[in-house]
């Protein structure tokens, strides 16, 4: 079997040649070049927003690019190929009309969906049909919804009662933090949080615990706060 470099020819690389190179390079399993990188812009994409997979440190004398959805150069996972001289995009089996390849190799995904989350592989093919491969990752998040705060009691007695506050949310893959008087809640030895931070227990309560509480849910692309809940503490 001839190596990919043996297929070199003079002139621009046609689309068929690009696909042939991609097929042969699959069999040759070329190693990933350390200098070639893919950057997601923004680093975490929000569902429904555009995201760019930007390519850095491309080698010179390129004939074209081929993008794949996944961690390998697999023809069944090919998104599209781009011939630089002809400035032509040729769709593959995994192509979506939301995808655009730019002359610098970067891949734009318009109105990203949760299904776009995953690995993406770029095959950069040189004029002599030698190639470099790099894989990057894209993560798409759904904006969080507004949480609700539920309390075991709204009125408690100092040093006698405990109160349990629960943050209710339908979102998954999120983090939770607690606010007191619109500030991050300072933790004391009387406070206990559940493992996922969704439940806050204060036992026993003191007069300085009286005031407005909120829980906030967040992920890398969004955050929402619950309506304030006021805790009244009786003492004397």
**Mean pLDDT score, 173-179:** 96
Residue 21 has a pLDDT of 54
- CB atoms closer than 10 angstroms to residue 1: 6
Res. 3: pLDDT tops 70: no
Cα gap 229→214, rounded to integer Å: 6
pLDDT digits (tens, 9 = 90+) for 100-131: 999 999 999 999 999 999 999 999 988 666 78
Q: What is the pLDDT of residue 26?
A: 46
CA dihedral 42, 171, 190, 186 (to 10 degrees): 30
What average pLDDT does the chain have?
A: 87
Common-topology check for domains 4-141 and 148-234: yes
The model scores a pTM over 0.85: no
Position 39 scores a pLDDT of 96
Structure tokens at 103: 């002359």
pLDDT exceeds cutoff 60 at 10:
no
| 13 pLDDT more than 50 | no
Q: What is the 3-state secondary structure (H, E, C) of the chain?
A: CCCHHHHCCCCCCCHHHHHHHHHHHHHHCCCECCCCEEEEECCCEECCCCEEEEEECCCCCEEEEEEEECCCCCHHHEEEEEECCCCEEEECCCCCCCEEECCCCCEEECCCCHHHCEEEEEEEEECCCCEEEEEEEECEECCCCCCEEEECCCEEECCCCCEEEEEECCCCCCEEEEEECCEECCCCCCEEECCCCCEEEECCCCHHHCEEEEEEEEECCEEEECCCEEEEEECC
List the structure tokens of 39: 């950057």
- Structure confidence at residue 14 (pLDDT): 53
pLDDT value at 133 more than 70:
yes
Q: Can you tell me the distance from the alpha carbon of 58 to that of 122, in angstroms, rounded to the nearest whole number?
A: 11
Structural fold of domain 4-141: Immunoglobulin-like (2.60.40)
CATH node for 148-234: 2.60.40.10
Alpha-carbon distances, residue 146 vs 14, 140, 217 (angstroms)? 53, 19, 8
Whether residue 145 has a cis bond before it, omega within 30° of 0: no
Q: How confident is the model at residue 33 (pLDDT cuts 50, 70, 90)?
A: very low
What are 64-99's pLDDT values in tens digits?
999 999 998 888 999 999 998 888 899 999 999 999
Dist CA 199 CA 150 (whole Å): 9
Domain assignments of the chain as residue spans, ordered by start = 4-141, 148-234
């Amino acid at each position: 079997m001839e190596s990919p470099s043996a297929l070199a020819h003079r002139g621009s690389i046609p689309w068929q040649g690009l696909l042939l190179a991609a097929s042969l390079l699959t069999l040759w399993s070329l190693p990933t070049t350390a200098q070639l990188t893919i950057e997601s812009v923004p680093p975490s994409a929000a569902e429904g927003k555009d995201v760019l997979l930007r390519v850095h440190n491309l080698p010179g004398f390129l004939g074209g690019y081929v993008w794949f959805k996944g961690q390998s150069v697999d023809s069944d996972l090919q998104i599209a190929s781009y011939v630089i001289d002809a400035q032509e995009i040729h769709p593959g089996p995994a192509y979506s009309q939301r995808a655009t390849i730019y002359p610098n190799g970067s891949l734009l995904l318009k109105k990203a969906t949760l299904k776009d989350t995953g690995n993406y592989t770029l095959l950069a093919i040189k004029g002599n049909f030698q190639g470099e491969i790099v894989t990057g990752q894209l993560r798409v998040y759904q904006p969080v919804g507004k949480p609700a705060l539920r309390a075991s009691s709204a009125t408690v007695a100092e040093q006698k009662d405990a109160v349990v506050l629960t943050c209710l949310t339908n979102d998954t893959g999120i983090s939770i933090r607690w606010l007191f008087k619109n500030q991050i809640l300072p933790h004391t030895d009387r406070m206990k949080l559940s493992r996922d931070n969704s439940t806050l227990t204060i036992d026993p309560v003191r007069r300085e615990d009286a005031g407005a509480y909120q829980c906030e849910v967040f992920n890398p692309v969004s955050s929402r706060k619950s309506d304030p809940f006021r805790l009244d503490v009786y003492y004397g």
